[in-house]
Amino acid sequence: MDKVECIVLGAGVVGLAVARALALRGHEPIILDAGPIIGSGTSSRNSEVVHAGIYYPADSVKARACVEGKARLYQLCEERGVPYRRCGKLIVATNADQEAGLGELKRKATANGVDDLVELSRAEAIAMEPQLTCTVALLSPSSGIVDSHGFMLALQGEAETHGAMTLLNTSVESARADDDGVVLTLVGGEQIRTSMLVNALGLNACQFARDMGPPFSMTAPTPYFAKGNYFALNAKAPFSRLVYPMPEPGGLGVHITIDLNGRARFGPDVEWIDTLNYDVDAKRADVFYDRVWAYWPGLPDGALVPDYSGIRPKITAPGEAAADFRIDGPEVHGVPGVVHMFGIESPGLTASMTLADMVADRISDRPRPAGSI
């Protein structure tokens, strides 16, 4: 049986960030992923938005990791030449009922340490984006967009420079913990023993922990899947900034994002599903038009084209309040050297580097290097 010091399951943005954090502390993590390329799951199926930390409860893991992670992400992109743009975001109210909710968002953001939001009147918002319709708005100047694959390559490169290794097309069939660590059985029969294991499997994280049996199966949450569909705009982008409506249950509303090539797309919506699939039903465009017309009445009929979809790894059922990120280490399940990451949805991309250090703090006895991003 092969013996290794540390294994990270999942080569998405969070798994790569975790491997980097552990490698910077002097460990030699091996990253295992069933896919043919890094980030082939949830990490490649999102809006590529860098979030400011506006929407989350004060002192939550989401809030703390997002606010710190945003600054660290921008710094890494600057130092490693990863394309990004701090384009800013407008969150808009389109009727009087929504204005109170917008004020509550600002109070929540302030509690989270987001102190750069600007309240805009209707006239001020429309002066910035002439095609916009709203009653009032909030400007988030530190929100932006990033080349998510370029960011993941930078994380992978730095991890491997410091001793990590990435093994793709590698599926784990089962895992069990004993007094000497964790034994993983790969598809094909090969077994690997490790003293440190991080489950960063995203959509599959809950089921993997449950399949490991007690004590993990006793603490792992029930997974739920919220599919988000995106539609591309077959015309010139109407805005230079991101534009978000008020949040909706399960998501942040059907918003418009502009990618680094200037291409506009709308989404995601919220479609609760039981079976994973990434098909985009063209009929869902009818709902998109209604929602987008509320803040951009100039959207032409027939301008939305099915694009792609992503699936959020939720750990709360439809209708329940959104859960915080869960990082279950030995303090939860009692097994040294094992961390499970549950419910890592948005703002997981933005928060990834800070989440990675939270994980490393739970299983490594080596401190974060001074001056590291």
Compute how many other C-beta atoms are within 10 angstroms of the C-beta atom of residue 196. 21
> pTM for the whole thing?
0.97
Residue 272 lies in a domain: yes
Contact partners, residue 90, CB within 8 Å, separation at least 6 = 120, 125, 128, 129, 132, 134, 137, 138, 139, 140, 239, 241, 242, 243, 244
Nearest-angstrom CA–CA distance, 373 and 80: 12
The count of domains in the chain is: 2
In whole angstroms, what is the distance from residue 317 CA to residue 314 CA?
8
Residues 334 and 304 in one domain: no
What's 284's DSSP letter? G
Q: Work out the pLDDT band at 1, boundaries 50, 70, 90.
A: confident
Query: In this structure, is residue 91 part of a structural domain?
Result: yes
**pLDDT classification of 131: cutoffs 50, 70, 90:** very high
- Encoded amino acid at 367, one letter: P
The verdict on residue 271 lying in a domain is: yes
Ordered strands of the 84-85 beta sheet: 49-50, 144-146, 84-85
* Average pLDDT estimate for 267-294: 96
pLDDT recorded at residue 195: 97
Q: Which amino acid is at 198?
A: V
Longest C-alpha distance within the chain, in Å?
68
Confidence of residue 357 (pLDDT cuts 50, 70, 90): very high
Torsion angles phi and psi, residue 209, rounded to 5 = -65, -40
Whole domain around residue 280: which residue ranges? 86-142+224-314
Same domain, 340 and 216: yes
Residue 61 lies in a domain: no
Written as one letter, the residue type at 9 is L
Confidence of residue 140 (pLDDT cuts 50, 70, 90): very high
Angle between the N-to-C axes of helices 61-80 and 148-161, in degrees from 0 to 180, rounded to the nearest 10: 80
pLDDT at 91: 98
CA angle 41, 47, 52 (to 5 degrees): 115
The predicted pLDDT at position 121 comes to 98
Amino acid 24: pLDDT: 98
Q: Would you say how long the chain is, in residues?
A: 373
Contact criterion met (CB below 8 Å) for 227 and 311: yes
Q: Same domain, yes or no, for 122 and 234?
A: yes
Q: Please name the amino acid found at residue 78.
A: E
Please check whether residues 194 and 291 belong to one and the same domain: no
* pLDDT beyond 90 at 372: no
Distance CA 143, CA 126 (A): 19
- CA gap 226, 61 in Å, rounded: 21
**Residue 284 and residue 186 in one domain:** no
d(CA 262, CA 59): 35
What is the dihedral angle through the alpha carbons of 155, 170, 221, 322, rounded to the nearest 10 degrees?
40
Q: Are residues 260 and 228 in the same domain?
A: yes
53 within domain boundaries: no
Q: What is the pLDDT of the chain when averaged over all its residues?
A: 96
**Both structure tokens of 311:** 């699936």
Give the end of a domain, one of 314, 331, 355.
314
Domain of residue 12, CATH code = 3.50.50.60
* % of the chain surpassing 90 pLDDT: 96
Give mean pLDDT, residues 2-23.
Answer: 97
> Does one domain contain both 157 and 295?
no
176 has pLDDT over 90: yes
Q: Average the pLDDT over 145-151 and give the result.
A: 98
**H/E run at residue 308:** strand 304-314
pLDDT at 248: 82
Residue 291: inside a domain = yes
What lies within 8 Å, CB to CB, of 321 at 6+ separation is none
Whether the upstream peptide bond of residue 215 has omega within 30° of 0, thus cis, is: yes
Residues 240 and 308 placed together within one structural domain of the fold: yes
Q: In this structure, is residue 300 part of a structural domain?
A: yes
Q: Does 135 share its domain with 231?
A: yes
In terms of phi and psi (left: phi > 0; alpha: psi -120 to 50; beta: otherwise), the region of 14 is: alpha
Q: Do 298 and 230 sit in the same domain of this protein?
A: yes
Domain end (from 274, 294, 314): 314
Whether the per-residue pLDDT at 139 is higher than 90: the answer is: yes
Both 94 and 136 in one domain: the answer is yes
Question: Does residue 67 sit within a domain?
Answer: no
CA separation for the pair 171, 185 (Å, rounded): 9
Question: How far is residue 127's CA from residue 125's CA, in Å, rounded to a whole number?
Answer: 5
Q: What is the CATH number of the domain that holds 135?
A: 3.30.9.10
Same domain, 187 and 138: no
Residue 252: CB atoms within 10 A of its CB come to 21
DSSP bridge partners of 182 = 177, 194
Cα–Cα distance between 223 and 311 in angstroms, integer? 12
